[in-house]
Amino acid sequence: MLLFVLGILIFLVGLALSIALHELGHLSFAKLFGVKVTQYMIGFGKTVFSLRRGETEYGVKLLPLGGYISMIGMFPPKHEGERARNASTGFYNSMVQDARDASADTVAPGEDGRTFYRLAPWKRIIVMFAGPFMNLVIAFVLFAVILMGIGIQTRDVGSVSPCVPSGATATTCSSDAPPSPAKLAGFRPGDLFVSIDGRPTPTWDDATAVFQRSAGRTLSVVVDNEGVKRSLTVTPVAAERAVVDQNGKPVVKNGLTQTRTVGTVGIISGAITVRQPVTAVIPAFGNSVAQVAGVVIDLPQRMVGVWNAAFGSGPRQADGPVGIIGVGRVAGDVASDAQYPVVAKVQTMLSLLASLNIALFVFNMIPLLPLDGGHIVGAVWEWIKRAWAKALGRREPRPVDMARLMPVTFAVIVVLGAMSLLLAYADIVKPITLG
């Protein structure tokens, strides 16, 4: 139980640091461009600790489930040069004007030039993109640590059989059995396959597939053992082997084990952790971003699956969306599982944090307020309007009034809140676990 709690605490600390660096990205460029930032907060709810440095209050709140910075003048007034005033009746107008009022209240006399909405559109884009970009950088660094510093587990030549058993279920050879092709070729424990007949075979399964279909054919094999490459020549021999299912178990039909004749060389696999080159980081990182983006794009459909699993008897999809409770639970399971070696625990925890940061990046780039992507879209639209007006020789247009989108913002907040509650419930009653 202690290790389980420790795993959750490690994850929460990693989450809090990811959020802190996200907000630091916003803060750094906002201050660089002269915007007055009144608050930098990690978490929501009641303030646990805060201090003031200059014009900014820095603090930590009770629930480390997000963060924010408060910049003055997020929205422009309805008319240039005026203070906020009462809106006309109506739900839409009231929401819009309330947003303008709240924004105007943050601007003290003489500070209009330090408001967020006064920034050039390209500066606003940088301020809002800097937060998600920090999550992208964190994820990339974590991937580099995992692949280059720790490595990934793969299968190598664990041992070389002195001979090739003749039967499908035989495990030993007679004393007069000829040496195995692998022994004759000079294979050694720890060999990793590089290529066969000039074609790359980076995995054990790749090499096995080639050997199985090449009985009686001489193959040129390149292997790597601790950085030293060797060229070998091997001729697989035909042998009867049991047919196995996707779980590696022999297929039995009518009480008889099903067999087939395949090529074999007489090697047994072993597990090894191999550090990857820097060139492997970018493809792995890109694949992960694409996978998370796919989950976000299909989020409405996937949330239906979460609902059916949470309130029905259907299974929870392992590649579906998961909430903070679910990820924390997985972190606790990994930390407390005695079957995981320490290196594997560290690697898994780093992978969880890397995936979390990618999710924060992709999610925040959705072009809807109050997410960062919504502010970026507004700035891009204003940039286009200004460029169009300049091309036509017209007067520069006013800043885009993002306050008009407050009803949409309210709807997005309601939907996100409902999704968070559903994921939290599903994570409790039907959690996702790692195999």
Is 130's pLDDT higher than 90? yes
**pLDDT of residue 435 exceeding 70:** no
Tell me if residue 357 falls in helix, strand or coil.
helix
Could you read off the pLDDT of 375-386 as tens digits, one per residue? 999 999 999 998
First to last CA, the chain: 20
pLDDT of residue 44: 85
pLDDT, tens digit (0-9, with 9 covering 90-100), for 201-244 = 778 888 888 998 888 899 999 998 888 999 999 999 888 777 76
The pLDDT of residue 248 is 61
pLDDT mean across residues, the chain: 85
- Per-residue pLDDT, 84: 40
Cross-strand pairs, 272: 154
User: What pLDDT sits at residue 86?
Assistant: 43
pLDDT attached to residue 246: 65
| In the predicted structure, residue 167 carries a pLDDT above the cut 70 | no
Neighbours of 409 (CB within 10 A): 18
- The amino acid that residue 345 corresponds to is K
Predicted model pTM = 0.77
Q: Which of 23, 57, 80, 396 is catalytic?
A: 23
Confidence of residue 190 (pLDDT cuts 50, 70, 90): confident
pLDDT at residue 163 above 90? no
240 is catalytic: no
| DSSP string computed for 19-37 | HHHHHHHHHHHHHHTT--E
Q: Do the beta carbons of residue 7 and residue 334 sit within 8 Å? A: yes
pLDDT band at 403 (very low <50, low <70, confident <90, very high): confident
What are 347-373's pLDDT values in tens digits? Answer: 888 988 998 999 999 989 999 888 899
Quickly count: other Cβ atoms within 10 Å of residue 282's Cβ. Answer: 12
Residue located via tokens 């009653």 = 429
pLDDT at 139 over 70: yes
Among 139-143, 166-170, 334-338, 342-346, the range scoring the smallest mean pLDDT is 166-170
Query: Hey, what amino acid is at 334?
Result: V
